[in-house]
């Protein structure tokens, strides 16, 4: 894998983590929204922190789509799950959240699984297409 591909994966993790932090911060400023008052979601979208979160998550989507164009989903998804570590650290630092030992153990288990998965190839080797023996056009 090239440096550019690693940078795309890192950008995917950073965009997702900061996007989620921004959405959480913005929605805490907006307040509780229930299914009975779903129209308040439209007002929430005007909150600058929610807008920033949406923009960052669009950046995540762009990077994620790029990564999926050159690698298998079974590689990209676990690799981007390293964002759970960053998200937990950002939640503590920026949002003042408490992360329990049980959650840290869960994050450690996910990260360990990621380490195992990333040892394999990033893309499945494609089998060459079988040539038609029916006398079809071979271009």
The DSSP result for 21-33, as a single string, is HHHHHHHHHH---
Residues with Cβ within 8 Å of residue 114, at least 6 apart in sequence: 78, 79, 81, 82
The radius of gyration of the chain's CA atoms, rounded to the nearest angstrom, is 20
What are the tens digits of pLDDT across the range 91-104?
999 999 999 999 99
What are the tens digits of pLDDT across the range 23-79?
999 999 988 877 777 777 888 889 999 999 999 999 999 999 999 998 888 888 888
pTM: 0.78
Domain edges within the chain: 3-32+43-117
């Amino acid at each position: 894998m090239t440096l550019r591909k690693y940078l795309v994966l890192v950008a995917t993790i950073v965009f997702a983590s900061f996007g989620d932090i921004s959405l959480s911060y913005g929605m805490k400023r907006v307040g509780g929204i229930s299914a009975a008052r779903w129209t308040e979601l439209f007002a929430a979208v005007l909150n600058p922190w929610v807008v920033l979160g949406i923009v960052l998550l669009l950046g995540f989507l762009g990077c994620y789509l790029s990564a999926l164009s050159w690698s298998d989903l079974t590689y990209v998804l676990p690799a981007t799950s390293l964002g759970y570590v960053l998200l937990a650290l950002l939640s503590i630092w920026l949002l003042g959240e408490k992360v329990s030992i049980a959650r840290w153990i869960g994050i450690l288990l996910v990260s360990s699984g990621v380490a195992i998965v990333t040892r394999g190839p990033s893309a499945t080797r494609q089998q060459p297409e079988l040539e038609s023996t029916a006398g079809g056009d071979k271009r």
